[in-house]
Structure 1
Amino acid sequence: MNTFIFQCLPQKYDLREKLIKGQKDTWYATRYRNKMQPGDLVFFWMGGDDRFRGLYGWGELISEPYIKEDWESYGVDILYKARFAKPITKSKILKYPNLSNLLLFRAPMASNFLVDSSESKSLIKLISGLGEPTPLTQ
């Protein structure tokens, strides 16, 4: 199983409104398509202004990437499994061991980021420590 972070910007897709537990959605699959499989874990990040930049929840891939004709690009279907009560901010993530070097922070100009297994475990520990639901508690 792989882990990803999918990023959006609020002016195009606002997770504060769109991330609803139990809902299905389609996201762009611009990078790492060959690694995406149903059941993979996805964390949802909203970039932009520091006032709302952070992780808003997590879900799982429910399809393989496919050409979405009306987008003229690849998409992948997801299921939102958890929405956090409060976003987990960049500053909290940067302070946590093993997370300051996430690809999301090193090269933020993308939609999809692969997260290695040690980073994924650290993210889950951080989320759990903040009292938010994790993939291990669902």
Structure 2
Amino acid sequence: MNVFLFQTKPERLDLRSAIVPGEQAVWYATRYQTEMAPGDLVYLWMSGDEHFKGLYGWGVITSKPYPKADWDSHGVDIEYRVRFSKPIKASSLENDPVLAKMLVFRAPHASNFLLDAPAIKGLSKVIKDRREKVPNFQGAVE
């Protein structure tokens, strides 16, 4: 099972209101298409202004990536599972020596990021410390 971070711009999809647990959505799958599979975990990140840039929740991939006729890329279906009660701002993650190495900070212009084991562990700890629902990496909640 892989864990991804999917990024959107607020003018494309505003995560402050878009994440509704249980609802399905289609997201861009511009990179790592061959690694994406149903059941994979997806953290949901919004770029932009420092006041709202950060992590807003998580979901689970429910399809393989597929061509979208009206897009310049593939799409992938996800189910929103958790919307955090308060977003985890990027500024609170950038000072962590492990999380600061995530590609979303070093090369922030992509839509999809494959997370490594240290980033997955670090994000889980931050989420748990904030008393938010932590995924158990099978799409369920701990």
In structure 1, what is the equivalent of residue 8 of structure 2?
A: 8
- Aligned: 1:26 with 2:26: yes
**1:10 counterpart letter in structure 2:** P
Provide, for residues 16-39 of structure 1, a one-character-per-residue CA deviation record: whole Å limited to 9, x for no partner. Answer: 121111110000000011110111
Post-superposition offset of 1:95: 2.7
Large movers: runs of 4+ above 3 Å? none
2:56 maps to: 56
Aligned-partner SS, 2:101: coil
Q: Distance in 1 between matches of 2:112 and 2:129?
A: 25
Are residue 35 (structure 1) and residue 43 (structure 2) matched?
A: no
Q: Which runs of 5+ in 2 are unaligned?
A: none
Aligned length: 138
| Distance of 1:83 and 1:97 partners within structure 2 | 25
Residues 96 and 126, structure 1, Cα contact 8 Å, conserved in 2: no
SS state at 1:104 partner: helix
What residue in structure 1 maps to residue 44 of structure 2? 44
3-state secondary structure, aligned to 2:119 = helix
1:97/1:122 contact within 8 Å kept: no
Q: Map Cα deviations across residues 25-66 of structure 1 (whole Å, 9 max, x no partner).
A: 000000011110111110000000011101000011001100
Q: Which runs of 5+ in 1 are unaligned?
A: none
The reply on whether 1:128 has 2:128 as its aligned counterpart is yes
Assess if the C-alpha contact under 8 Å between 1:38 and 1:61 holds in 2. yes
| Matches of 2:58 and 2:126, distance apart in 1 | 13
**Within 1, Cα distance between the matches of 2:90 and 2:71?**
30
Give yes or no for contact 2:50–2:91 (8 Å, CA) kept in 1: no
**Greater displacement, 63-72 / 28-37:** 63-72
